[in-house]
Amino acid sequence: MIFIFSDFGINGPYSGTMRSLVMRGAPTVPVCDLMVDAPDRNPKAASYLLAALMREFKPGDVVLAVVDPGVGSARKGVVVNCDGVSFVGPDNGLFEMIIRRGRDVSMRTIDWQPDDPSASFHGRDIFAPVAAMIATDTLFAASPLAIDDRHAAAKDWPDQLEEVIYIDTYGNLMIGMAPPKVSRDVMVKGEVVGPARTFSDVKVGQGFHYRNSIGLCEIAVNCGRADQKYGAQIGTAVSIV
């Protein structure tokens, strides 16, 4: 399969036109829109979220991942091969947690270029065609890149990020870390939040944290919105207490 992970949203032409290039280049390969609301222009937060979604991929899959505020700059386009899965996108830290947690990892820079690429939409013009070429075993111009030569700033990011990295449609707060290994509280915006197994284990309107379906610590409110209750947004600090 080809999975698409982006911050493009559902409005405007961006998600659709990038997807169309994938489907045109690999018409027999299933395409899944995994996420189109990844953290907005935030490769750091998106890196932890993408790594948590690794469970969805199987060897041979291709992941087209585009969260790219530096599009058109000197940042490289890369293919990261991690445990049999190919990730295509910008070298801006987006793949840092995938690289760090993988067992068998290699990288290539994308040297292939279309005739007239847009300076502001490499997702459509470069990354989507390359993802389709990988999925159809089509050769394209690329050069080996040493793992140590990847995006430098991302190497200093922590293994576990004690911040909100995503807010889902229900207002639940996904944190860039695994849940505490013992039944400990977490703190967000000065408020202590206790653990629970799932929503029905607490009263309606009560906040709690739990291990969510992709293995991250998540703060939620039973039949309510945690983002509103705690005044949180992407980047809000969360600590274990």
Contact residues for 77 (Cβ-Cβ < 8 A; gap 6+): 88, 89, 90, 91, 109, 110, 122, 126, 127, 130
pLDDT value of residue 162:
98
> What is the C-alpha radius of gyration for the chain, rounded to an integer number of angstroms?
19
Q: What is the mean pLDDT of the chain?
A: 97
pLDDT value of residue 196:
97
Mean pLDDT score, 19-24: 97
Same-domain pairing of 118 and 227: no
42, 52 contact by CB (below 8 A): no
Same-domain pairing of 143 and 224: no
For the full predicted model, state whether its pTM sits above 0.85: yes
Question: What CA–CA distance (Å, rounded) separates 205 from 203?
Answer: 6
What is the residue whose two structure tokens read 């609301």? 37
Same-domain pairing of 52 and 96: yes
Q: How many CB atoms lie within 10 A of CB 199?
A: 16
Mean pLDDT score, 79-90: 98
55, 49 contact by CB (below 8 A): no
Same-domain pairing of 119 and 233: no
Range(s) of the domain holding residue 200: 161-240
pLDDT value of residue 7:
98
Contact residues for 156 (Cβ-Cβ < 8 A; gap 6+): none
Mind listing the pLDDT tens digit for each residue in 164-212?
Answer: 999 999 999 999 999 998 889 999 999 999 999 999 999 999 999 999 9
Percent of the chain at pLDDT > 90 equals: 99
Percent of the chain at pLDDT > 70 equals: 100
pLDDT value of residue 57:
98
pLDDT value of residue 166:
98
Contact residues for 31 (Cβ-Cβ < 8 A; gap 6+): 1, 2, 3, 4, 19, 22, 23
pLDDT value of residue 67:
98
Mind listing the pLDDT tens digit for each residue in 37-66?
Answer: 999 999 999 999 999 999 999 999 999 999
Domain boundary among 156, 191, 215: 156
In what side-by-side order are the strands of the sheet with 238-240? 191-193, 186-188, 238-240
* Residue 179, domain CATH: 2.40.30.90
pLDDT value of residue 14:
97
Dihedral Cα 127, 128, 134, 135, nearest 10 deg: 150
